[in-house]
Chains A and B, each alone.
Chain A
């Protein structure tokens, strides 16, 4: 049974994102533990990449900070191993195809399994190209999480049928980043998903306010927040733990209203 899927069993889930190595790997360890303690049900850790084409300005800057700080995938694996000793929270890597390809798919997923990573999200590997990842990831029990976009339309059912872990519903067109409003009919996408699978569906991209969190969690099984948390890290640097915890606790309270 997927630990990621189980993370949605306790009600509406809050999925938190931070960039690995921003501002340092020690801080990533501290922040992931803090996010989990504050109520995050899943934590995504971004593997920094030189050219993150799906990211907006906030996460792009975090990638640059992390890389300039000397973050490497090998060191990040050690950090994850250390995090795993402190918290059982399900962990997901968010990364781009090239660092994984370069590491070698087999070596990468073997290492993921060894340090306690539960899944990966690769925004530049769509449904059509997933097979080369999935064949190897599944051997090591790692879920490859699929994304569904506002433009997916007739692709939704195929993607949902083959999904594992949870489904990442992209709320809006464009790249990651804080948005004033979300106009996509998320309810309609989630209904289509539910017609073919019982895999949970979480919504991300642009969510940052309590109101958005509450609204999105009405129609989906969980919400994913990245840029708002990374912005806190950007603003507070090495002293972000408390602010991150407060933010997660408030957001978690906002989505709790919608627990069945």
Chain B
């Protein structure tokens, strides 16, 4: 396989100004990923600071109610900062520090990645600036304040559609302006090589643990692992160590918004076409002229018009399958798992839970599946209340 490619997808489609920086990043990563001290330091942070390993929880009540395969939840929501984002951020922030960087920048959609980045920056003593679409700063105001509490400067992005893709544009523009002391902590398995590989490697701890945990609990592999997909980092992390296990279905759930038959969705793999954007060749929601399409989802974290190149390849070679889940089904799953298991899951993760509710009853009782609960849903409570027409006063 060509360097930095997953089949035909991936590559390094970025301005020349960033090329040497990207090449240096690749060199540094290739060195440190096998460096004993770096690995020990990162493992220490993950275990003693972020709270790893995360639980693999048997959702007994949900299993009984749905009446099919045993359902296990990989509890990334229990990590410090409340989502899987911390896995990648600690790795990249540590790498940035080793590279002599003193400042990190990042995009954020729902705010989870921004909060995680601000957290790692505070811990490791790095300056931190976060770029967030203006619309998202309003949807997720609490996370903006959280980042500020952690010492980060938050820029409200007013260009384009004022959501995640525009936050990525603006972070790239900032990085082109200042690379010498700055590392761009990309939040998902997208962007130019080596980011999709770096982020996947740091997130693969999810499936490394889960595979071991399920074998201990069940003595066999699951029939399927299910995760939500925006850019695709928790899904890549959940899939990675199961890729060689051909009997395990890898299922990604993208945001269908108001429905894939409308133009209000973010279902890139279901509805998108191949293109080149944000540093990579992959699938994108776009029009016939190659203009990137405005996307929509109730979930700010899935509201992105592209998808990581490794997902694009896994889909095209038939190793993984991707389904689109509507706002309505996700909100219903959000409420369902709260009432059934006492877990308020992120609205992003609720897309995966929604699909699993259909999948589990279709499987045998001695089968099992794992759902990645990528984040906690506290941040979504106000938005879900609004969706349900409930007026909240703080």
Q: What are 28 A-B interface contacts by the 8 Å CB criterion?
A: A51-B166, A51-B169, A53-B172, A53-B173, A53-B278, A56-B173, A67-B291, A98-B286, A98-B290, A102-B286, A102-B289, A102-B290, A124-B14, A124-B279, A126-B12, A126-B13, A126-B15, A127-B16, A128-B19, A129-B13, A149-B15, A151-B16, A151-B21, A152-B19, A170-B16, A173-B179, A175-B173, A175-B176
In the complex, the chain B residue whose C-beta lies closest to that of A71 is B289
Q: How far apart are B268's CB and chain A's nearest CB, in angstroms?
A: 14
In the complex, the chain A residue whose C-beta lies closest to that of B291 is A50
Give 4 closest A-B pairs by Cβ, nearest first. Answer: A102-B290, A174-B177, A149-B17, A97-B276
Do B289 and A155 have beta carbons less than 8 Å apart?
no
Do B290 and A100 have beta carbons less than 8 Å apart?
yes
Give bound CA distance, A103 to B274, whole Å: 12
Is B165 interfacial (CB-CB < 8 Å)?
A: yes
Residues of A within 8 A of B275 (CB): 98, 101-102
Do B286 and A151 have beta carbons less than 8 Å apart?
no
Quick one: which of A56, A128, A173 contacts B12, CB cutoff 8 A? A128
Do A153 and B20 have beta carbons less than 8 Å apart?
yes
Q: How far apart are B8's CB and chain A's nearest CB, in angstroms?
A: 10
Is A7 interfacial (CB-CB < 8 Å)?
A: no
Interface residues of B (CB under 8 A from A): 11-21, 159-160, 165-166, 169, 172-173, 176-179, 273-279, 281, 284, 286, 288-292
Give bound CA distance, A101 to B276, whole Å: 7
Residues of B within 8 A of A123 (CB): 15-16
In the complex, the chain B residue whose C-beta lies closest to that of A148 is B16
Is A54 interfacial (CB-CB < 8 Å)?
A: yes
In the complex, the chain B residue whose C-beta lies closest to that of A154 is B20
Most B-side CB within 10 Å, residue of A50, A54, A147, A152: A50
Do A152 and B290 have beta carbons less than 8 Å apart?
no
Do A129 and B177 have beta carbons less than 8 Å apart?
no
In the complex, the chain A residue whose C-beta lies closest to that of B281 is A101
Q: How far apart are A161's CB and chain B's nearest CB, in angstroms?
A: 15
Give bound CA distance, A156 to B193, whole Å: 21
Q: Which of A83-135 contact B (CB under 8 A)?
A: 96-103, 123-129
Give bound CA distance, A54 to B179, whole Å: 15
Give bound CA distance, A206 to B154, whole Å: 27
Do B273 and A151 have beta carbons less than 8 Å apart?
no
User: Which DSSP category, helix, strand, loop or mixed, fits chain B's interface?
Assistant: mixed
Residues of A within 8 A of B172 (CB): 53
In the complex, the chain A residue whose C-beta lies closest to that of B174 is A174
Is A72 interfacial (CB-CB < 8 Å)?
A: yes
Give bound CA distance, A98 to B272, whole Å: 13
Do B291 and A129 have beta carbons less than 8 Å apart?
no
Q: Which of A160-201 contact B (CB under 8 A)?
A: 170, 173-175
Is A60 interfacial (CB-CB < 8 Å)?
A: yes
Known: A51-B292, A102-B273. A147 touches B176 (CB 8 A): no
Residues of A within 8 A of B169 (CB): 51, 53
Do A99 and B16 have beta carbons less than 8 Å apart?
no
Is A11 interfacial (CB-CB < 8 Å)?
A: no
Is A136 interfacial (CB-CB < 8 Å)?
A: no
In the complex, the chain B residue whose C-beta lies closest to that of A67 is B291
In the complex, the chain B residue whose C-beta lies closest to that of A205 is B17
Do B292 and A50 have beta carbons less than 8 Å apart?
yes
Q: How far apart are B166's CB and chain A's nearest CB, in angstroms?
A: 8
